[in-house]
Amino acid sequence: MFADYTTSELMSIFAMQGFAGLILFSVFVLMALGLAIIFGQMGVINMAHGEFMILGAYITYLTSNVFADYMPNLFGAYFFIAMILAFIAAGALGMLVEWAMIRHLYHRPLDTLLATWGLSLILQQCYRTIFGAREVGVTLPDWLMGSFQLTDIIEVPINGIFVMTLAVGISVAIAALMYKSRWGIQVRSVVQNRPMAGAVGINTARVDRLTFGLGCGIAGVAGSAFTMIGSTGPTSGQLYIVDTFLVVVFGGAASLLGTIASAFTISQAQSTMEFFLSGSMAKVLTLLFVVFILMLRPQGLFSLKVRR
Amino acid sequence: MNSSNTDFVLAVEGLTVSFDGFKAVNDLSFYVDKNEIRVIVGPNGAGKTTVLDLVCGRTKATEGSIKFRNKELTKMKEHQIVRAGVGRKFQTPSIYGDLTVFENLEISFPRGRSVLGALAFKRDAEVLQRVNEVAGMIFLDERLHTRGDLLSHGQKQWLEIGMLLIQDPELLMLDEPVAGMSVSERRKTAELLRTITKDRSVIVIEHDMQFVAEIADKVTVLHQGKILAEGSAEHVKQDPKVIEVYLGH
Amino acid sequence: MGTLKNAQAGLGGRLPSLMKGIASAVAGATMVLSAAVNAAPATSEVNTTGLAVTDDTVTVGILHSVTGTMAISETGSVQAEKLAIEQINAMGGVLGRQIEYVQEDGASDWPTFAEKSRKLLLQDKVATVFGCWTSASRKAVLPVFEQYNGMLYYPTFYEGLEQSPNVIYTGQEATQQILAGIDWVTKEKGAKTFYLLGSDYIWPRTSNKIARKHIEKLGLKVVGEDYYPLGHTQFNSIINKFKLKKPDVIFASVVGGSNVAFYKQLKAAGIDMTKEKPLVLTISVTEDEILGIGGENIEGAYASMKYFQSLTNDNNQAFVKAFKERWGDDIVIGDVTQAAYLGPWLWKAAVEKAGSFDVDKVREASPGIELTTAPEGYVKVHPNHHLWSKTRIGNAKTDGQYEIVYETDELIEPDPFPEGYQ
Amino acid sequence: MSYAGLRSLLPKNDLINFAVLALILVVVLPLSLDIFRLNLVGKYLTYAFVALGLVLCWGYGGILSLGQGVFFGLGGYAMAMFLKLEASSPENTAIQSTPGIPDFMDWNQLTELPWFWQPFHSLTFTVIAIIVIPSIFAYIIGVAMFKRRVGGVYFAIITQAVAAILTILIIGQQGYTGGVNGITDLRTLFGWDIRTNEAKYVFYFLCVFMLFLCLGVAQFVRKSKLGRLLVAMREMEDRVRFSGYDVANFKIFVFCLGSAFAAIGGAMFTLQVGFMSPTFVGIVPSIEMVIFCAVGGRLSIFGAVYGALVVNWAKTTFSESFPELWLFAMGALFIGVVMAFPNGLAGLYTKYCEPKVNQLIARFTGKSNDTSAELAPQMKTEGGNP
């Protein structure tokens, strides 16, 4: 299939495809980070993760409308405000959910899965009632549109770079928070030995709530960023859920590094296969590949035990 | 073949296991005779539980061999090891809380262990008789229809021992059988141990030296994955290295 | 639910003769009264098969998804059908009877569609049903309509390959929509190479098959064909393939949430559709979809379908005005919404031509029914139950509307089983 | 079987449950509902097969599969393939370019029947395939997962991925599977029109009969030592292993059994609804099937049937009157059942109703009933879940 092209064209295409893989990687990282924190640190399966992302997307939509109506000259900057608001809103909802629901279910991980599925249905219907059944279009500031022309063929989309920067930034921030801050130490100590952490004066309930809130907040930011590349509708969140779970499970949920490594593997596999096969077959093969690897190496990837 | 066949019930030779470079058990060798009660003692982290895990197949050895009646265990799966005649009691009592004492024992009865066998399993006279017999030995004959959850801590420990007895294993491994027991329960347990060890070999992990002295034929002291001393209870108590390890900390 | 006729017969059978006289007198009086007001024909004449028709009402069914993933698309159709029914009622109804509707939710779930259609036909005895959107939902209800002899007005443009006596297809079948579009880009834009892209299900696959045959017949080249699962959101790889193959035309039939992702990513990857290099020709993006995509993300793309909201004829201006008055100013109207609006009007015309609500008579009367008041202009029912209609090419603008750049001169004949395209 | 054996297999409480369910399904519902509603009940009951399988897998074995739709679908597709072939006789499909093959194949330029469709000309093969193919598939998944000790949440997610894969495959390979539309327009079974009311009655009773057959098997498994082993494994898997059992084999067995139940349900679904489509294979229906089981009570085989009936009945009623509220109600149901009533309807029944029923029976028979002397005690788990 490559006979018709010159070497330089081929090189450019491979560069482009590599870049497409990197964008996919960033998208996966953003999707999965929040879930990885919640699943990895707390053992909770949050099936409503996609709905928290869409909450972030709707917040972005509202913010863009407010800016367009009242502060049109500041419109270029609204995206940052929107991401912060998305983080706060999704995080706050997450903490509320933790308080009302999740904390009663810590010893029953499979039940959190069902309960949060119920939550996702309720959230979807809320979105539908508030924003209507149709998808909403989010207007992006001009500076996020378009691309850099590097060579004749190689063009780098600006929003791709933005998503990548965001993914890297959030990963670094989370890593710093988890491994450097006092709060991160508390989270990890609660994970490892709950009664002992409680005994040495850590407010475990508060740590749980904040962890869950943080995970949901990151989902909100991801959703906000995804308004650049995807749709915003009541059921859009469901489009992401299987991919997200596979990334997290494949990574082993043990460490952020595992999640990032798995996002990288899956995204590269998928984007490579997409180039040679039809999109549907690429998806099937990627999923099969992940399931197959999980069958072969469950012990290597599942190093962290789920709290029972 | 890196070790010869022996008359020992259990022959452990050159056993090593490392977790990410940390050697929890390091080139360990010991031998257990027929009808011997061997007690393993040692400070926390000495590798006592790991040794039992290795013998019963829960942890895979990095190196070395474990022979049970001259059969190599390191390559076998857990249920195969059990069927070969090795029974194992865990440190925390692990019984089935949702099932009654009767059912707990019945499940452990060594018949109908395949899927079809379990479907075809019938509660016949032999089962009833064995269950009642064992329940009597472990002081639970009055509580046969109590749910496991509702037993006291000590009763759970006994129940688990009973679940091993009903399999009639040749080698019985008990991890801290009297931990958390009251004085009277402890006395009854020692009595129980003496009756059940009549015709089988037993490995016991225990901290309580008084209890050890009461039951042990031979004591092995583990320290940092290696054998520090071996011999009678009196003998190891006098060993300066053992005193150093126990009191030096 | 019995009809008045049945009720009278039932009464007559059971009551003594004295009562019988009274009953028939009452019935007679009612008939005289309604005749005086509406000049409506007697119920017993216009309804011989036990449908839910009374002296002054007729009940029809509306069957769309109000919940679930398809609710996004089907809302417009429900609105259009209700508007048409209200307008017909305001004009005096059908055969002097006001239309009442029973609305059921298909919940984006095909067995639910089948279940609800069975309910509408068996329990509610509706005279006709306006509904369904996806092919799958239509396929699910089709056996039900054929078994119980119901009538369905189906609004969506679809893949063809079907011709049921119990369905009137008010949207275009694939060849009507596609051939004119491809002819136009070839003739007007000098396109030589095409890349076919679709979501992975029957409509895009069939459409692309027709497109491919036609392109090859014209002596031109298809340089690539690709399908992504429904709901797929990552299109960077396909965009790279575009860059590699450099097609003149990207022929896109991506649907749903994928649509939004596709156009946003296309734009972000530096493909400026207004430059028409490559040119994007879609058959799946109506004004409804642009709401979600955002006008600025799809500006410059061409769409090939039979109706755009920006049509300037009088019919359409009145329609758009009425629609906005009824459902709000910020609403947009797409191809399917208009086709759904045609349903009740076509049914009314057929019923009046037949002089009866009986499904068999309506079916017999349907071929040849014309509608001069259709927002899209003039339409006519073909004997194969599809509509003759024009196809138009629109160019997407930032405000989310299409500017119409081309319109076929003649009505295109519907051809659900196109020879040489299968 | 001896009387005592029967007694231990079917203690009095269960006997009453069987009788009540039979009374409802065989007598009360057919007499009180018209054929349209009865057909709906029949459709709901097909989900009860899946829920029943989940009671064994999830409630007893602690294995939560979020991909039961896969097996439901495989069974349903097998049945649909047979019926579709009969509906696609050369006479019926004379207008096609290749008569004698299903219409969707003709649209996709297939000119002959694919090899894997050929055996579905035979009803015998089809009936065997309905049970065997999903079981083999479940066996493969089970061996791959359980032998490697993948369990709990991981198993749930992987089964979910399997459901996603199969959905994409079915939709993508539309020439062989009918794609997103599924296999529709099924008409006759050996020339007998399956769309008539008479046929619907027959299929309803066939469905009820099969359900009782499966309930019987489930009851047998539950009351056998294998049933107790499942509970034991759910609580203390290591202990079971160190009692000399190969734990994986038992999990594989119960997973296969649950899948076979689901597949029978799928086949019954096809017969009663008249088509099969990939929408029943995916993640969403699979999770909904879990909720039928949870609402009924994850430890009660009868609860599974009532759960499937009640939730679906509520879904139909709610969506007829308040379509907007349905998702709220469904969501609240999920959360409520998980948080407040982990044992579902069955749990409520044993807590509040059963004592009264027993009193009533005691009063009528004049016997004291407080001993509950069955050898196998009732399980009264509080949210029993690993």
How far apart CA C69 and CA D282 sit, in angstroms, is 14
Top-confidence residue, B86 or B211: B86
Question: Which residue in A has a C-alpha nearest to residue D62's C-alpha?
Answer: A110
Domain C57-170+312-386 and domain C174-305+392-407 have a common topology: yes
CA dihedral for C21, C23, C24, C26, sign (positive or negative): positive
Residue D245, both tokens: 């059992």
How far apart CA B75 and CA D293 sit, in angstroms, is 41
Band the pLDDT of A3: cuts 50, 70, 90.
low
Question: Which residue in D has a C-alpha nearest to residue C138's C-alpha?
Answer: D181
D206 pLDDT above the threshold of 70: yes
Domain residue limits, chain C: 4-39, 57-170+312-386, 174-305+392-407
User: For the ranges B215-224, C350-359, C402-411, D64-73, which has the lowest average pLDDT?
Assistant: B215-224
Question: Which residue in B has a C-alpha nearest to residue D241's C-alpha?
Answer: B79
Contact list in A for residue C68 (CB cut-off 8 A) is: 235
A129 pLDDT above the threshold of 90: no
Place of tokens 């009302």: A100
The answer to whether A60 contacts chain C (CB < 8 Å) is no
Which range of residues forms the domain containing residue D87? 3-365
- Main-chain phi, psi angles of C227, to 5 degrees: -130, 140
pLDDT, tens digit (0-9, with 9 covering 90-100), for A188-217: 888 777 778 888 888 888 888 999 999 999
The whole-number average pLDDT for the span B154-168 is: 90
How far apart CA A190 and CA A184 sit, in angstroms, is 10
Top-confidence residue, C330 or D267: D267
Q: Do B79 and D241 touch (CB under 8 A)?
A: yes
User: For the ranges B55-64, C212-221, D352-361, which has the lowest average pLDDT?
Assistant: D352-361
Q: Residue A10: what pLDDT?
A: 74
Residue C371 exposed, middle or buried by CB count within 10 Å (0-12, 13-18, 19+): buried
Band the pLDDT of B247: cuts 50, 70, 90.
low
Chain A, 181 to 240: residues with Cβ < 8 Å from chain C are 228-236, 238-240
Of D157, D327, D386, the CB nearest to A308: D386
Q: Residue D361: what pLDDT?
A: 77
Judge whether A257 lies within some domain: no
Band the pLDDT of A1: cuts 50, 70, 90.
low
Question: Which residue in A has a C-alpha nearest to residue C294's C-alpha?
Answer: A137
> Chain-wide mean pLDDT for chain D?
86
Q: Residue D6: what pLDDT?
A: 67
Which range of residues forms the domain containing residue A181? 19-237
Q: Do C236 and A23 touch (CB under 8 A)?
A: yes
Q: Do B112 and D225 touch (CB under 8 A)?
A: yes
Q: Residue C234: what pLDDT?
A: 84
Band the pLDDT of D38: cuts 50, 70, 90.
very high
Q: Residue C387: what pLDDT?
A: 95
**Angstroms from D187 CA to nearest CA on chain C:** 9
Judge whether D378 lies within some domain: no
Q: Residue C24: what pLDDT?
A: 46
Q: Residue C16: what pLDDT?
A: 41
pLDDT, tens digit (0-9, with 9 covering 90-100), for D358-384: 788 777 776 544 443 333 333 333 333
Contact list in A for residue C241 (CB cut-off 8 A) is: 275
> Chain-wide mean pLDDT for chain B?
85
The CATH homologous superfamily to which domain C174-305+392-407 belongs is Response regulator (3.40.50.2300)
Q: Residue A177: what pLDDT?
A: 87
Q: Is the peptide bond before C278 cis (omega within 30 degrees of 0)?
A: yes
Q: Quote the distance between the C-alpha of residue A276 and its chain's center.
A: 27
How far apart CA D245 and CA D243 sit, in angstroms, is 6
Judge whether D380 lies within some domain: no
pLDDT, tens digit (0-9, with 9 covering 90-100), for A49-74: 999 999 999 999 999 999 988 888 88
- CATH 3.40.50.2300 for domain C57-170+312-386, yes or no, is yes
How far apart CA D43 and CA D386 sit, in angstroms, is 32
CA angle C310/C131/C227 to nearest 5° reads 70
Q: Do C296 and A147 touch (CB under 8 A)?
A: no
Q: Residue D322: what pLDDT?
A: 74
Q: Do A242 and D339 touch (CB under 8 A)?
A: no
Residue C37 exposed, middle or buried by CB count within 10 Å (0-12, 13-18, 19+): exposed
The whole-number average pLDDT for the span B161-179 is: 89
Look at chain A and report how many structural domains it folds into: 1
CB-based contact C91:C23 (threshold 8 Å): no
Q: Do A283 and D168 touch (CB under 8 A)?
A: yes
Residue D212, both tokens: 């009782």
Size of interface A-D (CB pairs under 8 A): 124
The answer to whether A274 contacts chain C (CB < 8 Å) is yes
User: For the ranges A296-305, C198-207, C360-369, D33-42, which has the lowest average pLDDT?
Assistant: A296-305
Q: Is C294 helix (H, G, I), strand (E, B) or coil?
A: coil
Q: What is the DSSP letter of C94?
A: B
How far apart CA B211 and CA C217 sit, in angstroms, is 96
Q: What is the dihedral of CA C289, C294, C297, C299, to 10 degrees?
A: 80
User: For the ranges A87-96, A245-254, C20-29, C140-149, which has the lowest average pLDDT?
Assistant: C20-29
Look at chain D and report how many structural domains it folds into: 1
Whose CA is closest to B143, among B91, B103, B192? Answer: B103
Judge whether D87 lies within some domain: yes
CATH code for B10-247? 3.40.50.300
Contact list in C for residue A19 (CB cut-off 8 A) is: 236
Q: Residue A308: what pLDDT?
A: 25
How far apart CA A17 and CA A2 sit, in angstroms, is 14
The whole-number average pLDDT for the span A284-289 is: 88
Residue C169, both tokens: 């297809």
How far apart CA A93 and CA C151 sit, in angstroms, is 48
Positions in chain C short of pLDDT 70: 1-39, 422
Band the pLDDT of A301: cuts 50, 70, 90.
low
Residue A235, both tokens: 């059921």
Q: Residue A169: what pLDDT?
A: 93
Contact list in A for residue C291 (CB cut-off 8 A) is: 134-137
β-strand B86-89 against C387-388: which pairing, if any? Answer: unpaired
Q: Is C95 helix (H, G, I), strand (E, B) or coil?
A: coil
Chains B and A touch each other (3 or more Cβ pairs < 8 A): no
Q: Residue B8: what pLDDT?
A: 84
The whole-number average pLDDT for the span D340-351 is: 84
CA angle B55/B244/B221 to nearest 5° reads 15
How far apart CA C232 and CA C225 sit, in angstroms, is 16
How far apart CA D272 and CA D40 sit, in angstroms, is 9
ipTM of model = 0.83
How far apart CA C92 and CA C58 sit, in angstroms, is 12
User: For the ranges A138-147, B52-61, D370-379, which has the lowest average pLDDT?
Assistant: D370-379
Contact list in D for residue C70 (CB cut-off 8 A) is: none
Q: Do D319 and C136 touch (CB under 8 A)?
A: no
Of C259, C267, C292, the CB nearest to A145: C267
**Angstroms from D217 CA to nearest CA on chain B:** 11
Q: Is D372 helix (H, G, I), strand (E, B) or coil?
A: coil
A143 pLDDT above the threshold of 90: no
B69 pLDDT above the threshold of 70: yes
User: Subunits that touch chain D (at least 3 Cβ pairs < 8 angstroms)?
Assistant: A, B, C
A254 pLDDT above the threshold of 80: no
Question: Which residue in C has a C-alpha nearest to residue D319's C-alpha?
Answer: C105
Question: Which residue in D has a C-alpha nearest to residue C418's C-alpha?
Answer: D107
Band the pLDDT of A253: cuts 50, 70, 90.
low
Q: Do D182 and C123 touch (CB under 8 A)?
A: no
Contact list in A for residue D172 (CB cut-off 8 A) is: 278, 280-281, 284
Q: Do D375 and B123 touch (CB under 8 A)?
A: yes
Per the DSSP assignment, residues forming a β-bridge with C105 are C64
Q: Residue C187: what pLDDT?
A: 94
**Angstroms from A107 CA to nearest CA on chain D:** 8
Whose CA is closest to C279, among C115, C135, C165, C393? Answer: C393
Contact list in A for residue D335 (CB cut-off 8 A) is: 101, 115, 118-119, 122
Of A5, A228, A233, the CB nearest to C264: A228
Global pTM reads 0.86
Judge whether D383 lies within some domain: no
Question: Which residue in D has a C-alpha nearest to residue B111's C-alpha?
Answer: D244
Contact list in D for residue C201 (CB cut-off 8 A) is: 171, 174, 179-181
Percent of chain B whose pLDDT exceeds 90: 12
The answer to whether A287 contacts chain C (CB < 8 Å) is no
**Angstroms from A25 CA to nearest CA on chain D:** 19
Helical (H) or strand (E) element with C395: strand C392-396
The answer to whether D236 contacts chain B (CB < 8 Å) is yes
Q: Do D339 and A119 touch (CB under 8 A)?
A: no
Q: Do C123 and D319 touch (CB under 8 A)?
A: no
**CB C38: neighbour CB atoms within 10 A?**
16
Q: Residue B210: what pLDDT?
A: 80
How far apart CA D227 and CA C84 sit, in angstroms, is 61
